[in-house]
């Protein structure tokens, strides 16, 4: 504190001396250049981020309200007549789906239709989705397992066709563990169950690590229920959890700075750091209207920065 005071005192005396000299000799002695502080480099800590300005964000023009309405002709506009999932769904009674879902289903699942799959669907209702997915994923060895808390749903099991039903709660980790032990691990998990945010989060926590194969998809739909009561029954919604997963995908960049990767690229010294396990388990997160698809992987190595020798390439 004393050192800082002395520095300020010397600076003030210097300014006064320059002022007096300019009065005596009739000219102003210019102030010395003010040093420009070097920008901080390194990992941005939460405290540093909190001190930054939050004035910049999405341009307000994007938030202008516009008129939007439903249209009974949206099925033709979306090209649903040619959509394989929609074609099957219209032939299966007792079902209900939002019209935007069919395009997403085809985009996400079409490449796996002919594969031998193990599929878990949370929520059976009238069994229509179980029949839909068993017909859509047409490999003879594909198996679809449905779980529901309603004992009446047991009637929709058709084991001979690869459709199995078990009665239990998606919010019961022990029950889910038993399902994985009996039928899993799964290639595709579809959460179309209670839509309660607490249940969805418990299901993900219980199933993602051990219940879903590497390369599999964890798919949750009807996320609009996160905004409605009574389904929103926790402060953190499933969408909030997905936002957290998005940050955790990039956790390694909060553990090391660019210099670490430059050094590894130049000297070949491996970077070693500790990150949350989930960071290694997410390949991609796709967010659609009321849906999210989380692609599981097992990332064996930390990403590297590849430096290209420009002189060598020029030759």
pLDDT in tens, 136-155: 999 999 999 999 999 999 99
Average pLDDT, integer, range 271-277: 92
Q: What is the overall mean pLDDT for the chain?
A: 88
Inform me whether the pLDDT recorded for 53 exceeds 90: no
Task: Give pLDDT tens digits for 287-313.
Answer: 999 999 999 999 999 988 887 664 444
Residue 17 domain-assigned (yes or no): no
The 3-state DSSP class for residue 195 equals coil
Task: Give pLDDT tens digits for 164-200.
Answer: 999 999 999 999 999 999 999 999 999 999 999 999 9
Inform me whether the pLDDT recorded for 13 exceeds 70: no
Residue 271 domain-assigned (yes or no): yes
Higher per-residue confidence, 10 vs 129:
129
Backbone φ and ψ for 133, nearest 5 degrees, come out as -70, -35
How crowded is residue 211: how many other Cβ atoms within 10 Å of its Cβ? 24
Inform me whether the pLDDT recorded for 14 exceeds 70: no
What would the two tokens of residue 153 be?
Answer: 């749903």
What would the two tokens of residue 216 be?
Answer: 């599999």
Active site residue 252: no
Residue 310 is predicted with a pLDDT of 44
Task: Give pLDDT tens digits for 66-93.
Answer: 999 988 888 777 788 899 999 999 999 8
Residue 307 is predicted with a pLDDT of 76
Backbone φ and ψ for 129, nearest 5 degrees, come out as -70, -35
Residue 309 is predicted with a pLDDT of 60
Higher per-residue confidence, 7 vs 129:
129
Number of domains making up the chain: 1
Average pLDDT, integer, range 114-129: 96
Higher per-residue confidence, 26 vs 176:
176
295: left (phi over 0), alpha (psi -120 to 50) or beta: beta
Residue 257 domain-assigned (yes or no): yes
- Residue 217: give the domain boundaries: 75-296
Confidence of residue 249 (pLDDT cuts 50, 70, 90): very high
Average pLDDT, integer, range 233-245: 96
Catalytic one of 96, 138, 195, 263: 195
Residue 169 domain-assigned (yes or no): yes
Residue 53 domain-assigned (yes or no): no
Residue 133 domain-assigned (yes or no): yes
Residue 23 is predicted with a pLDDT of 58
Q: Looking at residue 115, which CATH number applies to its domain?
A: 3.40.50.150
Average pLDDT, integer, range 23-41: 62
Higher per-residue confidence, 15 vs 267:
267
Residue 312 is predicted with a pLDDT of 46
Residue 307 domain-assigned (yes or no): no
Report the 3 state secondary structure along 239-258.
HHHHHHHHHHHCHHHHCCCH
Residue 302 domain-assigned (yes or no): no
Backbone φ and ψ for 309, nearest 5 degrees, come out as -75, 105
Q: What is the CA angle 30-33-39, rounded to 5?
A: 165
């Amino acid at each position: 504190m004393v050192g800082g005071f002395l520095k300020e005192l010397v600076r003030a005396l210097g300014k006064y001396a320059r002022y007096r000299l300019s009065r005596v000799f009739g000219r102003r002695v210019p102030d010395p250049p003010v040093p420009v502080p070097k920008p901080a480099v390194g990992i941005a800590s939460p405290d540093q981020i909190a001190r930054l300005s939050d004035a910049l964000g999405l341009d307000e023009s994007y938030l202008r309200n516009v008129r939007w309405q439903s249209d009974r002709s949206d099925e033709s506009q979306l090209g649903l007549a040619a959509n394989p999932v929609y074609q099957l769904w219209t032939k299966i009674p007792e079902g209900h789906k939002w019209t935007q879902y069919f395009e997403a289903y085809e985009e996400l699942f079409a490449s796996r239709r002919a594969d031998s799959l193990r599929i878990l669907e949370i929520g059976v209702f009238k069994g229509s989705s179980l029949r839909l997915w068993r017909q859509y994923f047409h490999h003879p060895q594909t198996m679809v397992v449905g779980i529901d808390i309603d004992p009446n749903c047991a009637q929709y099991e058709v084991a001979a066709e690869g459709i199995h039903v078990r009665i239990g709660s998606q919010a019961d980790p022990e029950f889910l563990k038993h399902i994985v032990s009996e039928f899993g691990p799964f290639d595709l998990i579809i959460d179309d169950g209670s839509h309660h945010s607490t249940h969805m989060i418990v299901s993900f926590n219980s199933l993602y690590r051990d219940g879903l194969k590497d390369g599999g998809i964890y798919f949750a739909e009807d996320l609009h229920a996160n905004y409605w009561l009574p389904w929103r029954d926790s402060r953190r919604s499933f969408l909030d959890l997905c936002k957290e997963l998005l940050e955790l995908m990039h956790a390694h960049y909060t553990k090391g700075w660019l210099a670490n990767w430059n050094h590894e690229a130049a000297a070949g010294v491996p970077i070693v750091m500790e990150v949350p396990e989930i960071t290694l388990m997410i390949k991609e997160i796709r967010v659609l209207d009321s849906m999210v698809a989380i692609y599981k992987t097992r990332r064996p190595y930390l990403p590297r920065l590849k430096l290209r020798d420009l002189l060598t390439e020029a030759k």
